[in-house]
Amino acid sequence: MSTASVRIEGLTKVFYDDSRGEVRAVDDVHLECASGEILGLLGANGAGKTTTLRMLSTVLTPTGGRAWIMGHELREEPQDVRLSIGFYSSSTALYPKITPRETLRFFARVNRYPAERVEERVELLIDRFGLAEYADSRVEKLSSGMKQKVSIARTLAHDPPVLIFDEPTVALDVLNALELRKIIAQLRDDGKAVIFSTHVMSEAEQLCDRIAIIHNGRILACDTLDGLRGLTGKHYLEEIFVHYARDSQA
């Protein structure tokens, strides 16, 4: 066993579609992510980022390959995988009728956080994310920026070692996005393994320890920014990305 918190080997997802036949949304993906590391999944819309992350979070079942999170295999121990991750995406909404405080409490409990320490954890997160002001008004009344913060906070409710964020900044304004990036960086410093997907080049440049470029379901390259620069001879990530994407088309 490798020491990596997340290890993906040949992960594949094939959809069958009446009109298009077989669609390989994710094709033989190999990746690793260690504790205290941010791995960025960079790709255009429809590249397979969301499908990969959904498989990692056990929402979708892989049709091929294997992956381990904290040593638990996706298909063999999905329950343990879920306990080890915090998953956030545009399709993971919050319950509208409860308050942020109740939300955090709920997710801590449902994720089996030790009952006697739940309150302590909730307070900690409220404090850390600056939610105190609206911690007791209902989620449905919050603005989208506030909701986003609560959403991120709730992924941390049970203090999971691995965090999976699917395009977390996509709907945020500049300031909120900046704040979120800070939080993600902080999580790395706390020793979490963070995998996040984005199609924003600057974000990947700033934040990621390593960047995986995904296109048409395949990983075209995975390295540090400098490593990628060395491999392609280009400086800007955008150029690097276009380089690989064109390459694969040809």
Rounded to 5°, angle at Cα 33 from 28 and 37: 150
State the Cα–Cα distance between residues 205 and 112, nearest whole angstrom. 36
Using the rule CB under 8 A, is 95 a contact of another protein?
yes
Burial of 174 (0-12, 13-18, 19+ CB in 10 A): exposed
Token digits of residue 34: 């260690």
Give the binding range for another protein (CB under 8 A) out of 10-18, 31-39, 195-203, 225-233. 10-18
Contacts of 231 (CB under 8 A, 6+ apart): 221, 223
Using the rule CB under 8 A, is 3 a contact of another protein?
no
Q: Measured from the CB atom, is 138 or 229 closer to another protein?
A: 138
Using the rule CB under 8 A, is 197 a contact of another protein?
no
**Length of the chain (residues):** 250
Quote the DSSP letter at residue 192.
-
Using the rule CB under 8 A, is 130 a contact of another protein?
no
Give the binding range for another protein (CB under 8 A) out of 1-9, 35-43, 54-62, 223-231. 54-62
Count the Cβ atoms, other than its own, within 10 Å of residue 60: 18
- State which of residues 8, 85, 150, 204 lies at the interface with another protein (CB under 8 A): 85
Using the rule CB under 8 A, is 17 a contact of another protein?
yes
- State which of residues 68, 87, 165, 241 lies at the interface with another protein (CB under 8 A): 87
Q: Find the farthest-apart pair of alpha carbons in the chain and give their distance in angstroms, rounded.
A: 58
Using the rule CB under 8 A, is 94 a contact of another protein?
yes
Using the rule CB under 8 A, is 63 a contact of another protein?
yes
Nearest alpha-carbon partner for 159 in 191, 127, 133, 181: 191
- State which of residues 111, 169, 197, 198 lies at the interface with another protein (CB under 8 A): 111
Which residues would be at the binding site for another protein (CB under 8 A)? 14-19, 21, 54, 57-61, 63, 79, 82-83, 85, 87, 89-98, 102, 106-107, 109-112, 115, 138, 154, 158
